[in-house]
Amino acid sequence: MLLTGKVAIVTGAARGTGAAICRRFVDEGATVVATDVLVDEGQAMAQKLGPQASFAALDVTDNSAWEATVGGVLASHGQIDVLVNNAGILHIGSIANTSMETFRRVVDVNATGAFAGIAAVAPPMSARGSGSIINIASIDALHGMNGLSAYTASKWALRGLTHAAALELGRSGIRVNSVCPAGGNPGMYGPWGTQLMKLGPGLTSYGSNRAIPREASPDEIARVALFLASDLAEMVTGADIPVDGGHLAGDYIEGFDQMSADI
Ligand SMILES: NC(=O)c1ccc[n+]([C@@H]2O[C@H](COP(=O)([O-])OP(=O)(O)OC[C@H]3O[C@@H](n4cnc5c(N)ncnc54)[C@H](O)[C@@H]3O)[C@@H](O)[C@H]2O)c1
């Protein structure tokens, strides 16, 4: 049991990766407050996890909602040990097809929302002299990709925020790390799903050239979040941990290692 006695807040937890993180944390003994804008789904998810989990509605872009959530968790549980900034939205579209409003919305949820969360939990964590903040970024926080200008900018911002916060809060006993997955809930691709299927080899090669040629599942990401939340990661801060099956290691070329010649 890696998280016995710890209290965690997870954002964007009604489904997908956030829900998988809640499940792992509860299994390891944590008390979990799952939050999301999807209230019915979030409540049902938390109920399934039993008495160690509860749900609170939270739009991460709403600063006063953050204050209310953190105040509520402190009133009910007395402490906050872990914050997982997992809430996120995607936009796929060329720069020409990305309005200023969309760009701002993506950055607002994915980066500014996490900043608001860090600002809200830092005082009670500092008062206790310990805490772990985990930002679920993306492989798109480590490289660029056409069609993802808003999403990529938001995730690079989140990774930059991770480093700055790690430096600023380290002396208060708070660790801040980012997890950078290639994969998660395929449901996130919602409106683009059918169009993506039509891309064919261009899209297939994106995943199939990896050392492990597939996407990460929500639970595979949750297991890395679990490590960072636990005291096993005591000396780990300011890190960006890829959960990408070796995507960034380079390209696997079928047959390249089967060639031979004398030199
Ligand atoms: N799905 C992928 O392929 C993938 C890849 C890399 C990184 N990620 C990241 O992983 C995280 C989790 O995504 P997922 O894959 O589980 O997809 P998901 O769409 O299932 O989860 C995102 C959750 O965030 C919630 N959310 C959206 N806006 C919110 C807001 N303003 N306030 C609070 N909650 C809000 C949604 O309701 C949803 O439950 C996201 O940060 C995402 O960017 C996903």
**Domain boundaries in the chain?**
7-245
Q: Tens digit of pLDDT for each residue in 128-178?
A: 999 999 999 999 999 999 999 999 999 999 999 999 999 999 999 999 999
Q: What is the DSSP letter of 179?
A: E
7-245 maps to which CATH number? Answer: 3.40.50.720
Average pLDDT over the chain reads 97
Strands 82-85 and 31-36: unpaired
86 within ligand 1 shell (Cβ under 6 A): yes
Residue 110 CA: which ligand 1 atom is closest?
41
Residue 203: pLDDT above 90?
no
Q: Tens digit of pLDDT for each residue in 27-60?
A: 999 999 999 999 999 999 999 999 999 999 999 9
- Alpha-carbon distance 242 to 142, whole Å? 9
pLDDT at 193: 87
Residue 200: pLDDT above 90?
no
Residue 85 CA: which ligand 1 atom is closest?
41
pLDDT at 61: 98
Centre of ligand 1 to C-alpha 88, Å, is: 4
List of residues 6+ apart from 15 with CB closer than 8 A:
36, 38, 41, 45, 185, 187
Residue 204: pLDDT above 90?
no
